[in-house]
Amino acid sequence: GANATGATNAALIYQSAFAFQTIQIAAYTDPEEAAAFISVCQPLCDPYQIYVVAAEVNHTKWYRIRVGIFKNKTDLNSALDRILPALKTAAAWDGKHFIATAANHFGWLCPSPDGSFLIFSLMNAIYRYNNRDQKLVCLYKPAIYAPENKTNAILSPDGEKVAFLDESGRLRVMSAQGDQLITILNR
């Protein structure tokens, strides 16, 4: 009905204003090498989440290792200042990095009923974007990112709760502020 169309239009408007960036620090063709690199570098990148984005380039599957998502250059540069010195201590890292767009890995975009915030999943983490102050808050961070899993975070009609599938396939619910996490259904 009209309400669904309004919500869809609102989501499309939000999506058009969204442009997130992420820091790519490595790429491997071997998933085991990618996993080994992550095990060394995850603690060095804390508190930013490490993601693996699988993509095929010229008939070769690559596992791109990326760190964080950032709405603006200030936050991105602050993260670089924090993690690059730590990464330089890792023998596994070749010292190369570049900035990539994270927009092509969105889950559903769910605007709140009053339009004050947006809930979405991006690379299996769940985020809240506050329209007024343009702050981006990670509400849920998976223990490990698995490209084949989809979080599919969705906001309740009253805008109070978020339901999603975690990385283990469990159905979970939390408040729209990211607390009160409960498991509804184990896989």
pTM above 0.75, yes or no: no
Does the 21-101 domain belong in CATH 3.30.70.1070? yes
Coil/strand/helix, residue 38: helix
Predicted confidence (pLDDT) per residue in 69-121, tens digit: 887 788 899 999 999 999 999 888 999 998 887 654 556 678 899 989 989 88
Domain residue limits, the chain: 1-18+105-187, 21-101
pLDDT at 137: 86
Given a cut of 60, is residue 12 above it in pLDDT? no
Q: How far apart are the C-alpha atoms of 61 and 39, rounded to whole Å? A: 21
- Report, in this order, helix, strand and coil percent for the chain, each rounded to 5: 25, 40, 35
**Right CATH number for 1-18+105-187 from 3.40.190.10, 1.10.630.10, 2.120.10.30, 1.10.1740.10?**
2.120.10.30
What is the band of 61 on the pLDDT scale with cuts at 50, 70, 90? very high
Predicted confidence (pLDDT) per residue in 176-186, tens digit: 999 999 999 88
pLDDT at 16: 42
Q: Where do the H-state alpha helices sit in the chain? A: 2-17, 31-45, 73-87
Weakest-pLDDT range from 25-34, 49-58, 113-122: 49-58
Burial 96-135 (b: 16+ CB within 10 A, else e): ebeeeebeebebebbbbeeeebbbbbbbbbbbbbeeeeee
Predicted confidence (pLDDT) per residue in 148-177, tens digit: 567 788 999 999 999 998 888 889 999 999
Do 21-101 and 1-18+105-187 fall under one CATH topology? Answer: no
